[in-house]
Amino acid sequence: MTKRTVHAQAGKKDLLDIATLSRAEVERLLTSAALLKEKQRCGIPHPLLSGKTLGLLFQKPSTRTRVSFEAGMNQLGGHALVLPMGEIQLSRGESVADTARVLSCYLDAIVIRTYDHAIVEEWAREATMPVINGLTDLSHPCQALSDLLTIREKKGRLKGIKIAYIGDGNNVANSLIEAAAKMGMVIALGCPAAYQLEQHIVDRARVEAKKTGAMIESSQDPHIAVKDADVIYTDVWISMGREREHARRLKVLAPYQVNRRLLHCAKPDAIVMHCLPAHRGEEISAEVLDGPQSVIIDQAENRLHMQKAILTNLLGNRSRTKR
Ligand code: CP
Ligand code: NVA
């Protein structure tokens, strides 16, 4: 029996990318996150994952993703275990395959933040527990899912809402376009030629958009991209792992700063989003990031509620898989 068959039988489901979720699954995650948020706010206990253990393996720094998964797991009555990279045998050359198979005996799921997307795919192939992508160089699906929650809360709906993504066509942008396409939104990309999104992701999103009525626009002029936008979204110009390109990126991306002048081209009630961490004075001016249209703290809070929805979706009613 192949590993895939074993996984399918066990009902194992990974979260590696938005594209692997159906629209109905995204809807369910949004509903569940909103409900869990309400329970948390009202102080209603919700120990849905009592007795479950989540592993967190991060090869890059993280504040929001790591802490929201850890706190979220605790709020769900489970336990989260941070696995410091330098303290496990993976750092001394033990294979991903062996590590994934062994950790599957102890843990109920694992969140992985790493560089090459192929690494989380390998984890997903080898582990018998669900594997959650906590960010790779290619994508950041948990971020995009919680961003949908924030947009829906602020704008009352997703379908037809125009989101303009400005700046570096990076992992956050890749997941955002997939999420927007899935939910029938209008997404306008305003990125320079040198830093466009991954072509295969854009192509896949265009196929999805045909099914959902989403619209995907692209312009190298950020002013055109933000015209009539309901949401302006940006992210750092130098993602983790791109530090050597620092000088060139600052130069090429300088015209793509989200500032007051750019904000004026959007709808008057447009909201400003940033996944954080932010670099004030680079991809966004301080006055916009800290201004009245910015929703960055609510956006960061929603990471917690969406992680809990993801965890209950992947782990609820699931017994530990046998090899
Ligand atoms: N937005 C986000 O993923 O933040 P962290 O890098 O702090 O996890
Ligand atoms: N694009 C950024 C996102 C950080 C949450 C990075 O990969 O560093």
Domain CATH number, residue 110: 3.40.50.1370
For residue 220, is it within any domain?
yes
**What pTM was estimated for this model as a whole?**
0.95
Same domain as 156, residue 25: no
Same domain as 133, residue 147: no
Same domain as 130, residue 15: yes
| 29 within ligand 2 shell (Cβ under 6 A) | no
Question: Alpha-carbon distance 228 to 266, whole Å?
Answer: 5
For residue 306, is it within any domain?
yes
Same domain as 238, residue 306: no
Residue span of the structural domain in which 184 resides: 143-297
Is 206 designated active site?
A: no
For residue 187, is it within any domain?
yes
Same domain as 186, residue 132: no
Residue 242: CB atoms within 10 A of its CB come to: 16
The DSSP bridge partners found for residue 211 are none
Query: Ligand 2: distance of its center to the CA of 87 in Å?
Result: 24
Same domain as 211, residue 114: no
For residue 245, is it within any domain?
yes
Q: Number of structural domains, the chain?
A: 2
Ligand closest to CA 146: 1
Same domain as 192, residue 71: no
| 170 within ligand 2 shell (Cβ under 6 A) | yes
Identify the active-site residue in 64, 140, 204, 249: 140
Same domain as 216, residue 204: yes
Both structure tokens of 310: 């993801």
Same domain as 151, residue 131: no
Residue 148's pLDDT is 98
Report the candidate in 257, 194, 184, 252 with the shortest Cα–Cα distance to residue 26.
184
Residue 82: enclosing H or E segment and its boundaries?
strand 79-82
Mutate to test the pocket of ligand 1, among 58, 63, 133, 304 (most ligand atoms within 8 A of CB): 63
For residue 233, is it within any domain?
yes
The residue contributing the CA closest to ligand 2 atom 8 is 239
Pick out the chain residues at pLDDT < 50.
1-9, 322
Same domain as 307, residue 248: no
Residue 273: CB atoms within 10 A of its CB come to: 25
For residue 1, is it within any domain?
no
Report the candidate in 186, 139, 177 with the shortest Cα–Cα distance to residue 158.
186
Q: Are 278 and 239 in contact (CB under 8 A)?
A: no
Count the alpha carbons within 13 Å of 31 in the hemisphere toward its beta carbon.
7
Question: Alpha-carbon distance 125 to 122, whole Å?
Answer: 5
Same domain as 286, residue 150: yes
Same domain as 283, residue 170: yes
Query: Ligand 2: distance of its center to the CA of 239 in Å?
Result: 5
For residue 320, is it within any domain?
no
Residue 8's pLDDT is 42
Residue 318's pLDDT is 66
Q: What is the pLDDT of residues 111-139, one digit of tens each?
A: 999 999 999 999 999 999 999 999 999 99
Is 9 designated active site?
A: no
